[in-house]
């Protein structure tokens, strides 16, 4: 079974980094692709594609019902990313309420085939004894992750009690051409000195190139073995932050010196900046989560997705980082 002509596919978060790559791949299958898009969203990434747009908030019940009517697949990718100007209730609406509305709307369709719910490896928090797998305990560290956990638990329970055909995908750190969230790491590799915070932590990180993520998401929607399962979608192996810098630097032909610094003063500075900036709606220049990027180990056993589906990656960590660095240089981002 595969997605193709005659299938109606609804995508949320379609104008985001992952969403626009997913929409492009789905359009290439010949399927009818729909997207729920906010009025304020930047649509440049999908404006050249034959996508049926349903304008509205993803957490609006009426919008969910209209967009999901007759759909065979739902890819729920939408997420409220951490920004100082976002109020706390928005996280719950975008992650939990939207999931509830979309799941109930999908159940109205007699021919519905699969709901792919996109969570995050962030629900596991810091991994004390890496690598962790899909059964690792939840340890969310902020409201974003708290509501991601709540949404995932709700839809897994709903699927079991109501019979919704469901697959949950927890992506690792998503990167690739066009990504801005990990661009800062690539920029670090162009500097003569790269400060890395902390001494005792390995700083293990798990990546997934957006092309591999999208390919697996589509495969997981159609593979019979993935029904009712949860998958951590990451590269075959983790990589340390220091290794990332060295791989990127080698590709850019730079030679930065790694400088280790104590992390505690930066945590204090981050807490202080957040305390001052958040009430003012100002993005802090430094905050706890960014500091924690250097101190948390997030390494996983990703064998389940390969064992269940036979998935073969297009990118290793090294080739994916090189692909992304080359794109940044070409586009003048580096």
Task: State pLDDT tens for residues 235-246.
Answer: 999 998 889 999
Higher per-residue confidence, 97 vs 188? 97
Q: State CA 116 to chain mean position distance.
A: 13
What is the model's pLDDT at position 8? 97
Higher per-residue confidence, 252 vs 282? 252
Assigned CATH for 8-175+206-235:
3.40.50.720
Per-residue pLDDT for 90 more than 70? yes
What is the model's pLDDT at position 269? 67
**3-state SS assignment for residue 110:** coil
Residue 307, C-beta contacts closer than 8 angstroms, at least 6 positions apart: none
**3-state SS assignment for residue 251:** helix
Per-residue pLDDT for 84 more than 60? no
Confidence bin at 201 (pLDDT 50/70/90): low
Q: What is the rounded distance in angstroms from the CA atom of residue 195 to the CA atom of residue 187?
A: 12
**Contact indicator for 247, 321 with CB cutoff of 8 Å:** yes
Residue 199, C-beta contacts closer than 8 angstroms, at least 6 positions apart: 260, 262
Higher per-residue confidence, 285 vs 319? 319
**Contact indicator for 74, 58 with CB cutoff of 8 Å:** no
φ, ψ for residue 74, nearest 5 deg: -125, 125
| % of the chain beyond a pLDDT of 90 | 70
Q: What is the rounded distance in angstroms from the CA atom of residue 71 to the CA atom of residue 33?
A: 9
Span 167-172, average pLDDT? 98
Span 295-324, average pLDDT? 93
In the chain, where are the structural domains located? 8-175+206-235
Report the chain's terminal Cα–Cα distance, integer Å.
42
What is the model's pLDDT at position 295? 67
Q: What is the rounded distance in angstroms from the CA atom of residue 30 to the CA atom of residue 9?
A: 11
pTM for the full model? 0.90
What is the model's pLDDT at position 293? 66
């Amino acid at each position: 079974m595969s997605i193709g002509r005659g299938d109606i596919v609804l995508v949320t978060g379609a104008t985001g980094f992952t969403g626009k790559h997913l929409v492009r791949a789905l359009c290439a299958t010949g399927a009818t692709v729909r997207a729920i898009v906010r009025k304020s969203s930047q649509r440049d990434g999908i404006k050249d594609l034959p996508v049926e747009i349903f304008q509205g908030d993803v957490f609006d019940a009426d919008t969910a019902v209209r967009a999901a009517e007759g759909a065979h697949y739902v890819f729920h990718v939408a997420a409220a990313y951490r920004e100082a100007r976002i109020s706390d209730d928005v996280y719950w609406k975008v992650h939990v309420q939207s999931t509830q509305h979309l799941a109930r709307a999908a159940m109205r369709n007699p021919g519905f085939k699969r709901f792919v719910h996109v969570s995050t490896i962030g629900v596991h928090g810091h991994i004390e004894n890496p690598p962790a797998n899909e059964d690792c305990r939840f340890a969310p560290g902020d409201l974003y992750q708290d509501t991601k956990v709540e949404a995932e638990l709700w839809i897994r329970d709903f699927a079991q009690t109501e019979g919704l055909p469901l697959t949950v995908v927890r992506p690792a750190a998503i990167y690739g051409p066009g990504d801005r969230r990990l661009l800062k790491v690539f920029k670090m590799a162009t500097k003569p000195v790269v400060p890395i915070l902390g001494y005792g932590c390995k700083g293990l990180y798990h990546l997934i190139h957006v092309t591999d993520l999208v390919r697996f998401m589509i495969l997981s929607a159609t593979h019979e073995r993935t029904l009712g399962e949860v998958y951590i979608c990451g590269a075959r192996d983790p990589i340390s932050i220091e290794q990332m810098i060295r791989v990127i630097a080698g590709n850019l032909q730079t030679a930065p010196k790694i400088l280790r610094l104590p992390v505690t003063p930066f945590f204090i500075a981050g807490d202080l900046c957040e305390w001052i900036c958040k009430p003012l709606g100002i993005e802090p220049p430094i905050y706890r989560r960014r500091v924690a990027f250097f101190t948390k180990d997030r390494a996983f056993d990703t064998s389940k997705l390969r064992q269940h589906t036979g998935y073969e990656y297009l990118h290793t960590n090294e080739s994916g980082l090189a692909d992304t660095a080359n794109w940044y240089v070409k586009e003048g981002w580096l």
